[in-house]
Amino acid sequence: MKLEMRQKLAREPFTEKIRKVGQLIRLAKTFPRRDAKPAPAHPALSAEALAKGDAK
């Protein structure tokens, strides 16, 4: 993800960020990682995807 996009996400209200963390937790439970690799388990888990509303 581009740095500008990440900085934009960082500036969002805390309440909104916590809502997204809740979404990320639910998605992580739905799509658990198969191994311990540091790469994202699913594209929808990225904050960028959530910000775009891609993750359903």
Let me know: does 23 contact 55? Beta carbons within 8 Å.
yes
Find the shortest distance in angstroms from Cβ 52 to other proteins. 13
To which residue do tokens 């996009």 refer?
5
Cα(40)–Cα(38) distance, integer angstroms: 7
Q: Per-residue x/- marks for other proteins, 1-40, CB under 8 A?
A: --x--xx-xx-x-xx-xxxxxx-xxx-x------------
Q: Which residues bind other proteins (CB under 8 A)?
A: 3, 6-7, 9-10, 12, 14-15, 17-22, 24-26, 28, 45, 47, 50
